[in-house]
Structures are given as C-alpha cells and as structure tokens.
Amino acid sequence: MTYLEILRHLIACDTTTGHATPAAVEWIASYLKPLGGVATHRVRSADGARASLIICIGEGARPLLLSGHLDVVPAGAGWTMPPFALTETPDKVFGRGTTDMKGAIAVALSLIPDIVAHGKSACIVLTPDEEVAGTGVHEALDALDRLGILPRAAGCIVMEPTGLEVLLGQKESVIGVIEVHGKTAHSSDPAQGANALAGAMAAYGAFYGALKPFQDRSDAAFQVPHCVADITLFQSGIAANMIPDKAEMAYSGRFLDAAQKEAFMRALSEALMRLPLPAGVSVAHRETAGLRGFATDAGDAFARRILTHAPMAAYPKVSYGTEAGCFSARGIPTLILGPGRIAQAHQPDEFIEKGQLDDWRRLLWQIVLDFG
C-alpha cells in the first residue's frame, strides 16, 4: 500500500483528542497482518478508551524507535473541505492530521514491507492522546520496558513536523491554577464578605514579580531564548450585585529546563504566601498539567549519526511540547524529526506537501538502513 493510501485510511478515522484511536489501531493491525515479519502489541488503558500500538519489525539488537501520536486536535471552524477525508491536489494533501502527524506515520507504515524484505529492523510506537492528557505514552513506554525493548533502544525519533530538520530539545512546560477563596455577601454590605477578586489582583502582580528574575537566563538554541509564563484564563463572580467568594486564574509557563520550572513554582508559592491579603481571603496554586522538556547533546552518538542524514534546525530547541520529553526521561537518546511545518498544524485546511512526504520517505529509509 502506498503512503497516500494509508494516509487516506488514517485521516478517515476521526481520532480527535484521542477518541477512536482504538479503531485506528485496529485498522493499522489489519493492514500489518498479511505482511509477516512484524509483531504488534496493543496497549489499552484500563477503561478501553485509549489504545497504543507497538510495531516491532525484525529482531535488531539495538532497535531504532519511531514515535508518533495518532490523535488529532478538533477540526474547528474555517475548513473549506472535509477535515476527515483526504483531499488531494497535485502537490499537497489536506485533512486534519496530515501534518500533525498522520503523514509522517503513514510513510513509516508504508516502509514496513521494505524493512522486512531487507531483513532490517525498527520499532514504531503509536500513542493515543498526545494532544490532551498525554497519559498513553507512559503506558506505551511501560509496555516497551516489559517487552525488553526500552533498555536496548538505539534512540528515538519523534516524528513531529520539523520540516525534516533535526530538533534536539524542547522547553519544560507547565499549566497551573491560582485559586483565591473569600466569602460572598450582598454588594450593599461588602463588610459581611471577603472579596476574592481583591486577592486575585494581588496574586496577578505576585505571579509576574516571581517570574521576573528567571527571565535573565537565556539559551540561544531557542528562538524565544528565555522562559515565558503568562496568566491566560480568569474567572470570578456570578452576579454584579454579589461579592465574589472565588476567583480562579490559570497560567501557562515554558521553562528552559525542569530545574528552572521547579524553582519558579517554589518562588511563586513563596510570593503568594507573603501576599498582604484582605481578611478572609486565601490564595493557593497548583500544577494541573505539564510536559517534560528534554535536551539531547549534539555530540551524543545517536544525534551525531542522525545528523549525518538530516541537517540540524537553525534553532535546535523548540518552545512547544511533544512526547520526546517522555522518551528522553526514560534514558533514551531522543530527537524530533519529521515532515511538514509546525505552523501548518492545528489550522483549518491543514495540509502537507507531497514533496515533504516523498523526502521523508527517502530520509527515513536511509536512517533505517543505517540503524537496522
């Protein structure tokens, strides 16, 4: 099957935010069944809602891991063509997930018969929920460990869109909330209550005050060379004539590394504790989600070998999150390399250039020959 035929099936499977990934996994398993020389391992979450697929091709002593996520972000508004049916033009293909990242996956799957025929090996790891919870990757990594693959892996390529340039790191990201509690009262007698909004205004200032000293450190490998963090959501009050008893602010932060993130979280806690709050108002904050950052040294043996096949990006570290941090955290040399551009991801009329997919097929084949 050509990669475009495979991509047509993958796009038709609506894997928005993880749902229907079990169906996509079953389709891929049925495609692989007649090929032979391939062992597949399905990894299901306890509730059956998520499914990862591990595809082991050949019996290499030091398998190369190729990682991709099967889920896509919601289609959203603004499409001029069906998001869940592949639309082909002479030089592009359109559909939700063509760039992020079913195009790269389809090419990897299309290479399997060649890998088998040449007696080479590789291990493709497909995860179900990168765009949402990101829990499936941990289940898949645990399974890779049980299968004895993780300790032997030569390295991992996370096939996210990089325009076929090698990325060697990403920021450590965190999402958190600051909760402010007070006491509600009729607005005609505010002294009976404690206005949570007053606490929230103070916490807002404390957040940026805590961040400031961290922004002095920079790393030129990132296009945005320092850490960033912002308060991005705010909610409070239910009626104009009531003193609000609750205010909630969410924040998003991206840090140069885990140590910097941890230090900021401590500084924020301390700043909030020191706040001069009105009587009856309290403030707390907690982390609600995060993605591990990673940094692979350009001199690392695995990175050096991949860099003989593909160039390093002008800014080899990126500020967005991928599952690369999860692989790296398990001690596997990891980098990000795939077709398409990140700017095309998460957009209406998402597309990928066929030239990128053709080049990816040639590049990936060279890499598999080198490692297999």
Contact footprint for Zn ion (CB under 5 A): 100-101, 160
Q: Which of 268-285 are b and which e, b meaning 16 or more Cβ less than 10 Å from the residue's Cβ?
A: beebbeeeebeeebebeb
Cα within 13 Å of Cα(233), Cβ side: 11
For Zn ion, the closer CB: 131 or 353: 131
Q: Which residue is nearest to Zn ion (CB)?
A: 100
For Zn ion, the closer CB: 101 or 306: 101
Residue 161 CB, nearest approach to Zn ion (Å):
7
Tell me how far apart the alpha carbons of residues 108 and 5 are, in angstroms, rounded to a whole number.
13
For 270, phi then psi, to 5°, come to -65, -40
Residue 39 CB, nearest approach to Zn ion (Å):
26
For Zn ion, the closer CB: 199 or 290: 290
For 92, phi then psi, to 5°, come to -140, 160
Residue 66 CB, nearest approach to Zn ion (Å):
14
For Zn ion, the closer CB: 160 or 172: 160
Residue 69 CB, nearest approach to Zn ion (Å):
6
For Zn ion, the closer CB: 100 or 129: 100
Which H or E element spans position 250? strand 246-255
Residue 19 CB, nearest approach to Zn ion (Å):
16
**Cis ω for the linkage preceding 273 (within 30 of 0):** no
Residue 61 CB, nearest approach to Zn ion (Å):
30
- Residue 89: exposure state from Cβ atoms within 10 A (0-12, 13-18, ≥19): exposed
- Residue 233: exposure state from Cβ atoms within 10 A (0-12, 13-18, ≥19): exposed
Tell me how far apart the alpha carbons of residues 42 and 40 are, in angstroms, rounded to a whole number.
7
Residue 101 CB, nearest approach to Zn ion (Å):
5
Tell me how far apart the alpha carbons of residues 33 and 168 are, in angstroms, rounded to a whole number.
35
Q: Which residues pair with 122 in a beta bridge?
A: 57
Residue 137 CB, nearest approach to Zn ion (Å):
12
For Zn ion, the closer CB: 160 or 353: 160
For Zn ion, the closer CB: 101 or 332: 101
Q: Which residues pair with 352 in a beta bridge?
A: 93
For Zn ion, the closer CB: 260 or 344: 344
CA–centroid distance for 143 within its chain: 19
Tell me how far apart the alpha carbons of residues 235 and 71 are, in angstroms, rounded to a whole number.
30
DSSP 3-state assignment of 65? Answer: strand
For Zn ion, the closer CB: 73 or 267: 73
Q: Do residues 232 and 294 lie in contact, with contact meaning Cβ atoms separated by under 8 Å?
A: no
Residue 341 CB, nearest approach to Zn ion (Å):
12
For Zn ion, the closer CB: 100 or 350: 100
* Sign of the torsion formed by the C-alpha atoms of 90, 160, 168 and 43: negative
Residue 124 CB, nearest approach to Zn ion (Å):
15
Nearest alpha-carbon partner for 219 in 169, 167, 166: 169
